Structure 1
Amino acid sequence: MENKLDLTALLEYVDPSTLNYQEWVNVGMALKEEGYSVADWEEWSSRDPRRYHDGECFKKWESFQGTGSPVTGATITQLAKENGWKSKWADADDTFFDWNDSFIPTAVDKDYKLVNTDWVLGQEIAEPKNWNPSKQIIDYLEAVFNPGDIIGYVNDGYLHTNGEVEKWIPKSSGVYTKTAGDIIQGLKNSGGDIGAVMGDPNPDSGAWIRFNPLDGQGVKNTNVSEFKYALVESDNMSIEQQNEIIRELELPVVALSFSGSKSLHAIVKIDAVNYPQYQERVDYLYKIVEKNGLKVDKQNKNPSRLTRLPGFVRQGKKQFLVDTNIGKSSWEEWQEYIEDMNDNLPDPENLDDLFEQKIELAPELIKGMLRQGHKMLIAGPSKAGKSFSLMQLAIAIAEGREWFGFPCAQGKVLYVNLELDGNSAKMRFIEIYNKLNKGHEHVSNIDIWNLRGKTSPMDKLAPKLIRRAQKQNYIAVIIDPIYKVLTGDENSAHEMANFTNQFDKIATELNCAVIYCHHHSKGSQGGKNSIDRSSGSGVFARDPDAILDLIELPVTEDRYAQLENQVQCQVYVNAIRKYNPTYNQISQDDELSFKQMSYHLNAAITGKQIKQLIDKERSEAMKSARLASAWRIEGILREFPRLKPVNVWFKYPIHEIDESLQDIKLEDDPKEKWKKGTKKANESRSEKSKKELEEAFNVLSDTGDPVDVKAIADYLEIARSAVYARVKKHKKFLVSDGTIIKKDVNESVISK
């Protein structure tokens, strides 16, 4: 039976009491044909105590010898379908949830225990002082049904014996063509003569009624016209305890009656629009009541099930109405109440022992920036390389390296790719790994979930992500970009709060950091704080534990010339290390001077072909330098000191730190506004840098003697490479052996 439907599960949808004799036999033949045991047929058949007899199934079973056209499991499948079962492959509206579907939390996912049964003492019920059977029936019908509802009832039965157990069973399908209004009016007109209106009752068996309206054509589940109610019946505790629990649970009960024996019958409002929703709600209802001590009969799930009708006597005991319209007013109100009571929120903690116990903080994922289980937002304009920076971060976590100068903890990371073609995303990872040139020993720590063209709103995506990731031990989940899964208006604080709550769920359920990127609002960003740059509601700025902003820096021609110098020097340094690793004549200052590196290249490498390759590489590096963009990374951190700005070049496909960019002022920088209108503010950047260099030299060299490059760099608070760039543009100065020399002071040095 492997990979086949479980037929015994399908039989849960089929009430044997509603089948004729041949249909009942067909079920047995189908079970035997499909390899089930007679015990399976026996157990199901016993649910119809009116017709069930011990040993009958076993006798029939032996007569099933098989034919050329056997009865198969399809027979049972069809019966189940007729009674509301739906295959998980039927259509998109199925209630079955597979791997790719979202899920709705059910009673199984939470505790849902509202009542401590150990403390349930019980609440007594009172038998009516003045017994008026007709009024009992009328009050019940008026509470449960509309006047035009067709009802089904049975007021006669027979005694069924099963071993030592005797039970009164409904004798037939009863009456199912009269309306509730007909019965009520008839009882009022007849002066309460029940026999004249409903037929003479059997005082031994009592009477039954179907708690949902019918279509007047029969009494099967398919004949139920409205799925309004469900029956909660339990006999595993005293009547008083049942009464207390039903009331404590605030069940939306339209009518509560005493069966005349061991149980109360609660008719609970379900108000389902169709049978699948009815099944879903009844499952939920039964799980809640069972969690709270009421063990219910699963056969009562059928919407056409019979319940005891008040106003009749059963072996000397009255079946009477206990109460009507108790608990919550509707299913929706009750379900909301149950969910609110099980919100899983922690209780308040007293701080009495605050200084006595060591507090363990979550480990740092990115040192000094972000903890595991927290959230981080990376914001920036288009073409800032946000996705590349996130991939760099994924690699840094996987390999246990630095990211923008911050050490990262090593572990598994899930990169949720919402925008790129799957192969394009993989190629980007390869390009970044190759550009970083540090190996890929732990690339297996990266999982990528490619969802381009398959995305769903974040509230639907989050549970799917959690389900897939639960056993993967990720320390970080990176979602790129969030506009693909955005739900609601990004300018609505309420809707964006609901949206960002999904990140909390992921972080909490998986105990991992959640990192995502968002775009800047339009317009200049230089004059804004980091917290105000993200587009949309301020929720984006206040929800994350860490916010990083990429702000583009204005780059002058001088700066690009400086960058070209850097990349050319680096090409030469790498070439010498590759082709002549024993050459050790290069100083740190030499590495920053293209003139000096040209000298070293000629001294270290003589091969013409190799030099041609190096020159080609240098040319490509210069072209890339011209395409590079400069960025300043600022941040707001919730649990760490304010982030010192980090300056980087975005050189496809990676960001590289370059602190020589730190002297660049952002456009509309509020710190610089007071300088507007002054002569200094109107000077060109080039003239300004020349004057600053002259000032630094004059301060550090009273006699005009050479000044160390490092001393100039420290005075101006710029990188040494920036000093070289300024000297190159200034006609009065020259660099030699790591020092700055004024030309008119030492012409002999110039000749060198």
Structure 2
Amino acid sequence: MEYTTDLLEILNNIDPSLLDYQEWCNVGMALKYEGYTASDWDYWSQLDSKRYHKNECYRKWESFTGSGVTGGTIVQYAKNQGWVPPIKESGHELDWNDVIDKDEQVIVDKNWIEGKEVKEPLNWNPVAELITYLETLFDSTENVGYVTKTWLKDEKHLPTQGCWDRTAGKLIQQLNNCKGDIGAVLGDYNEEAGAWIRFNPLDGKGCKNQNVTDFKYALVESDSMVIEEQNAVLRELELPIACLVHSGGKSLHAIVKIEAADMKEYRKRVDYLYNICKKNGLDVDTQNRNPSRLSRMPGITRKGRKQFLVDTNIGKSSWDEWYEWIESINDDLPDPESLSEFWDDMPQLAPPLIEGILRQGHKMLIAGPSKAGKSFALIEMCIAIAEGTKWFGWQCARGRILYVNLELDRPSCLHRFKDVYKALGIKPNSLSNIDIWNLRGKSIPMDKLAPKLIRRASKKDYIAVVIDPIYKVITGDENSADQMANFCNQFDKICNELGTSVIYCHHHSKGSQGGKRSMDRASGSGVFARDPDALLDLIELELNESHYKQLRNMSACRVCVDYLKEHKPELLNELSQDDVLSQTIMIDFCKSKLGHDYYKELDNLVNEARSKATSITAWRIEGTLREFSKFPPVNLYFKYPVHVLDEDGALQDIDPDDIKPQWKKAKEARKSPQDKKKERMNSLEIAYEALKVDGEVTVKALEEYFTLSKNAVKNRVKEHPDFTIDNGVVIRN
């Protein structure tokens, strides 16, 4: 719901002392749902000094989960106390063809209520009415609670606990044989007070809520309008009323079908029922919420007036039918459209956010295994969008972006952005286009995060929101299709409310991935793959020694060229295009042309670059797109902290290990002991450099990386001359 005034301003128009306990709780639930804090609720509650208890709001706040009570409840309470919503400045004079928006779930126009007469029965048969009541509400084996005795308090007759020892079948049998004397069956009652009956069955041991055996019905009673208007509203609302009883006083008692499975569901449904009634002008007595509540018994006289049965089984036949009807009355779903109306005047497509991949306002998922650099890829994309540059070769639209950081601490996240900027060689001209929302340690389920995000981002004009990673905010079981569909709907809510794209990352499922389609690699329900408009999937390519030899060569050459550019740019004119691609030629050239101090510094830089080359990993991006045609796989290297496109095509012919043909696997398996040892040592170097990104490298981290036992990892480390183990930490000599 959209509010023209801040909810806290609206709250100032509500006196908490005029609300009952449940309504006070509803205010807290609504504030939490709309993204406000417990202190906001506590500050307002202090206005009711008689009932306010310190810290009570904070204790209850944690229990408010999934209540479904929204800010509309606060708006309604304010209206009930006389608050008038301000008129929007953008209003206009109504035309004949204009449609006046209706409040949600409002069926009855309170300005046009026409009362429906309630007539007393002419040939009144009290016993028959009570039998009809019992047959309608109870099974023959269910115990019925009723009260005929009263006690005086302040000159007012109040009901006692009454009786609950007989079943409906027994009572009906005795009433059929009582010859019209109800008192002979139930006991004589005081005609000044009348008599009462409980509408839910009991266990025969008491008459409290814990004695209710089946949560079938709830009581709707209101005495704020005349009987005829009550009758009209109850019927127009199509409430699933099992029995409608005249109280003999100022109100009708509607026994409404609730059909709840337990007390928790009963409370939820009664709250919903009472809320609908209030929205439609029926000010319900909220003290009647309890399932063990007493209602007026038909077939009884009270101060000379009849407590009689007005009607049975009116309105919808069940709770479910009524609930679906109510929800459909004022839904916000669009009407069906005829294609012929737009065939010659098609709406304009949303412009691309990432050329050939994703449109603005759409959703994208990036999936990949651990250590694929997914977070770095998202940061690279944030920078590309902020600066309007390319990302993995795809041109990005320039605009403002929000990065929701759920995993890194704040300093690490900020440093990572700066490191990526430097590694990409992009000038930070548009830093104001990047907003970072650091939520590590403060993450909440997505259905709670979405409204808070929308509220904070509503005036920022973001063209993209990045959520990294989603496992921190997943609600429900990621393998459940319906729960994950509800989870992904939160992304739609953000897209629709803000008009922005939502981009998020997720991890691969366990096991080999190369033989799967890109859309089937993400962990959990297939909803993850089918929900986004674009899915980009990263899968690792295994590099052999020849690839790493080439990478070390390229790294050394690049260092030499960069060093000459900075210190002796004139020497570059003496080198050919082939020269700058050979580390041997470049090193010899620099050695001969540079002085001792220059060359010593360059030699250290070359050795460092060669060492880093062993930690480079290779990846392939495949995609599943809804709006664009399929793109050829994109190969790239992850050179911490950025991904670099494979512009030379060196990775093009590499297949992921688990989709290689058997003959190729067999050939690669036939290696000499020396080759196998060299491969083990090389893989250890790669693993060490990859894990070093997160800090010190432990034996346990290598166990998880290689999926080997502790002893196997220790043996591999001991086998390598450059590594040692000190208290479980692997150190490179």
TM class by shorter chain equals: 0.5 to 0.7
**1:384 is paired with a residue of what secondary structure?**
coil
**1:550 is paired with a residue of what secondary structure?**
strand
CA distance in 2, matches of 1:521, 1:238: 63
CA distance in 1, matches of 2:21, 2:508: 59
CA distance in 1, matches of 2:488, 2:14: 44
Q: Which moved more, 1:294-303 or 1:546-555?
A: 294-303
Amino acid at match of 1:379: A
Q: How does 1:137-286 map to 2 (within 5 A)?
A: 137=130, 139-140=132-133, 147-151=143-147, 172-179=156-163, 191-193=179-181, 197-199=187-189, 201=191, 207=194, 209=196, 229-233=218-222, 239=228, 243=231, 245-258=233-246, 264-269=252-257, 281-286=269-274
CA offsets 1:619-663 (integer angstroms, 9 cap, x no match): 222222221112222212110121232221110110011221356
CA distance in 2, matches of 1:5, 1:121: 35
CA distance in 1, matches of 2:262, 2:48: 26
Structural RMSD (CA): 5.0
CA distance in 2, matches of 1:199, 1:262: 20
Relative to 1, partners in 2 of residues 1:598 and 1:296: Cα closer, same or farther, differing over 3 Å?
Answer: same
Aligned position for 2:283: 296
Match of 1:111 among 104, 110, 115: 104
CA distance in 2, matches of 1:550, 1:602: 41
Match of 2:629 among 641, 646, 650: 641
- Distance apart, 1:391 and its partner CA: 1.9
Aligned position for 1:621: 609
Relative to 1, partners in 2 of residues 1:558 and 1:173: Cα closer, same or farther, differing over 3 Å?
Answer: same
Q: Work out whether residues 10 and 77 of structure 1, in 8 Å CA contact, stay in contact via their aligned partners in 2.
A: no
Aligned position for 1:323: 311
| Higher Cα Rg, which structure | 1
Q: Work out whether residues 145 and 197 of structure 2, in 8 Å CA contact, stay in contact via their aligned partners in 1.
A: no
Relative to 1, partners in 2 of residues 1:491 and 1:666: Cα closer, same or farther, differing over 3 Å?
Answer: farther
Q: Work out whether residues 235 and 315 of structure 2, in 8 Å CA contact, stay in contact via their aligned partners in 1.
A: yes
Amino acid at match of 1:104: G
Gap runs ≥5 in structure 1:
16-71, 96-100, 158-169, 216-220, 683-752
Relative to 1, partners in 2 of residues 1:663 and 1:390: Cα closer, same or farther, differing over 3 Å?
Answer: closer
Match of 1:575 among 554, 557, 563: 563
CA distance in 1, matches of 2:289, 2:468: 47
Aligned position for 2:392: 404
TM-score by length of 2: 0.65
Q: Which moved more, 1:574-583 or 1:528-537?
A: 574-583
Q: Work out whether residues 538 and 621 of structure 2, in 8 Å CA contact, stay in contact via their aligned partners in 1.
A: yes
Q: Work out whether residues 475 and 513 of structure 1, in 8 Å CA contact, stay in contact via their aligned partners in 2.
A: yes
Amino acid at match of 2:121: P
Amino acid at match of 1:131: W
Aligned position for 1:716: none
Amino acid at match of 2:59: A
Match of 1:9 among 10, 16, 20: 16
Q: Work out whether residues 513 and 658 of structure 2, in 8 Å CA contact, stay in contact via their aligned partners in 1.
A: no
Aligned position for 2:618: 630
- Distance apart, 1:496 and its partner CA: 4.1
Match of 2:124 among 128, 131, 138: 131
**1:131 is paired with a residue of what secondary structure?**
coil
CA offsets 1:74-114 (integer angstroms, 9 cap, x no match): 65458xx9xxxx9422346644xxxxx66525593882235
Q: Work out whether residues 123 and 244 of structure 1, in 8 Å CA contact, stay in contact via their aligned partners in 2.
A: yes
TM-score by length of 1: 0.64
Relative to 1, partners in 2 of residues 1:569 and 1:319: Cα closer, same or farther, differing over 3 Å?
Answer: same
Q: Which moved more, 1:134-143 or 1:622-631?
A: 134-143
Q: How does 1:142-541 map to 2 (within 5 A)?
A: 147-151=143-147, 172-179=156-163, 191-193=179-181, 197-199=187-189, 201=191, 207=194, 209=196, 229-233=218-222, 239=228, 243=231, 245-258=233-246, 264-269=252-257, 281-291=269-279, 293-297=280-284, 310-311=298-299, 319-327=307-315, 334-335=322-323, 338-339=326-327, 344-452=332-440, 455=443, 457-459=445-447, 461-463=449-451, 465-466=453-454, 468-486=456-474, 490-522=478-510, 524-541=512-529
**2:341 is paired with a residue of what secondary structure?**
coil
Aligned position for 1:90: 59
CA distance in 2, matches of 1:510, 1:674: 51
Q: Which moved more, 1:565-574 or 1:335-344?
A: 335-344
**1:90 is paired with a residue of what secondary structure?**
helix
Amino acid at match of 1:500: C
Amino acid at match of 1:12: L
Relative to 1, partners in 2 of residues 1:7 and 1:247: Cα closer, same or farther, differing over 3 Å?
Answer: closer
CA distance in 2, matches of 1:491, 1:339: 29
Q: Work out whether residues 382 and 434 of structure 2, in 8 Å CA contact, stay in contact via their aligned partners in 1.
A: yes
**1:352 is paired with a residue of what secondary structure?**
helix
Q: Which moved more, 1:275-284 or 1:545-554?
A: 275-284
CA offsets 1:232-272 (integer angstroms, 9 cap, x no match): 43665883x75465345342323213456886432335578
CA distance in 2, matches of 1:441, 1:152: 83
Amino acid at match of 1:13: D
Q: How does 1:726-741 map to 2 (within 5 A)?
A: none
- Distance apart, 1:172 and its partner CA: 0.6
Relative to 1, partners in 2 of residues 1:188 and 1:634: Cα closer, same or farther, differing over 3 Å?
Answer: closer
- Distance apart, 1:199 and its partner CA: 3.9
Amino acid at match of 1:516: Y
**1:659 is paired with a residue of what secondary structure?**
coil
**1:174 is paired with a residue of what secondary structure?**
strand
Amino acid at match of 2:541: L
Relative to 1, partners in 2 of residues 1:153 and 1:591: Cα closer, same or farther, differing over 3 Å?
Answer: farther
**1:641 is paired with a residue of what secondary structure?**
coil
Aligned position for 1:656: 644
Amino acid at match of 1:89: Y
CA distance in 2, matches of 1:73, 1:243: 35
Q: Work out whether residues 145 and 198 of structure 2, in 8 Å CA contact, stay in contact via their aligned partners in 1.
A: no
Amino acid at match of 2:645: I
Relative to 1, partners in 2 of residues 1:275 and 1:665: Cα closer, same or farther, differing over 3 Å?
Answer: closer
**2:333 is paired with a residue of what secondary structure?**
coil
Gap runs ≥5 in structure 2:
1-8, 23-46, 74-102, 671-733
CA distance in 2, matches of 1:386, 1:495: 25
CA distance in 2, matches of 1:234, 1:223: 25
- Distance apart, 1:555 and its partner CA: 2.8
- Distance apart, 1:512 and its partner CA: 2.4
What percent identity do the matched residue pairs reach? 48
Q: Work out whether residues 234 and 294 of structure 1, in 8 Å CA contact, stay in contact via their aligned partners in 2.
A: no
Aligned position for 2:730: none
CA distance in 2, matches of 1:264, 1:242: 7
Relative to 1, partners in 2 of residues 1:317 and 1:176: Cα closer, same or farther, differing over 3 Å?
Answer: closer
